[in-house]
């Protein structure tokens, strides 16, 4: 049996992350990163968020209502912080609009480039991605196999 995977976020952090990502009116996608400790609890894999940070406007190379791309300095900064904390990296971003939360084709292309780099830089610690909308969220976890993420 495969373990079930959970992301634990304190109520305060969840409220703050959601407020950063989900704005009204939504004019552009937003992003944030969290740093999480990983532990296995029986049949559960648990990522416990210990710290988070919003991506500021200067942290984007591109930021629009339908696409974001991080600046190289932002990518390096969040990877270094995760490394310094001995933590896993958790990406949060939002999608604007009224459709259900789901990763877009451009999100998936970005994962094929970024996730292997993060796994290598963080010595195999898992990478978690969460996309949020006003009505819900979707999440994926990459542990070792970059081709087969697990559902969060």
Question: Rounded mean pLDDT of 9-17?
Answer: 98
The backbone torsions φ and ψ at residue 141, rounded to the nearest 5 degrees and listed phi first, read: -130, 130
Q: How many domains does the chain have?
A: 1
Per residue in 39-97, pLDDT tens? 999 989 999 999 999 999 999 999 999 999 999 999 999 999 999 999 999 999 999 98
Closest CA to 88 of 140, 22, 42, 34: 34
Is residue 142 situated within a structural domain? no
Is residue 82 situated within a structural domain? yes
Is residue 151 situated within a structural domain? no
pLDDT band at 149; cut points 50, 70, 90 = very high
Is residue 145 situated within a structural domain? no
pLDDT, averaged across the chain: 94
Is residue 152 situated within a structural domain? no
Which CATH number characterizes residue 28's domain? 3.40.140
Is residue 32 situated within a structural domain? yes
Residues 6+ apart with CB under 8 A from 45: 3, 4, 5, 6, 38, 39, 141
Is residue 83 situated within a structural domain? yes
Distance between CA atoms of residues 103 and 106, nearest Å: 8
The owner of tokens 């552009």 is 28
Predicted TM-score of the model (pTM) = 0.94
For 71, counting Cβ atoms within 10 Å of its Cβ (0-12 exposed, 13-18 middle, 19+ buried), the class is middle
Distance between CA atoms of residues 96 and 111, nearest Å: 19
100: containing domain: 4-136
């Amino acid at each position: 049996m495969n373990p079930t995977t959970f992301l634990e976020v304190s109520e305060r952090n969840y409220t703050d992350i959601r407020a950063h990502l989900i704005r009204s009116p939504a004019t552009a996608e937003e992003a944030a990163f969290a740093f999480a400790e990983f532990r296995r609890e029986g049949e559960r894999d648990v990522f416990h968020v210990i710290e988070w940070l919003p991506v500021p406007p200067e942290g984007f190379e591109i930021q629009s209502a339908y696409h974001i791309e991080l600046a190289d300095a932002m990518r390096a900064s969040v990877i270094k912080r995760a490394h310094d904390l001995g933590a896993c990296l958790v990406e949060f971003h939002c999608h604007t609009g009224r459709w259900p939360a789901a990763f877009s084709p451009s999100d998936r292309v970005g994962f094929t480039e970024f996730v292997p780099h993060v796994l290598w830089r963080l010595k195999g610690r898992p990478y978690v991605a969460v996309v949020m909308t006003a009505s819900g969220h979707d999440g994926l976890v990459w542990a070792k196999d970059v081709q087969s993420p697990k559902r969060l």
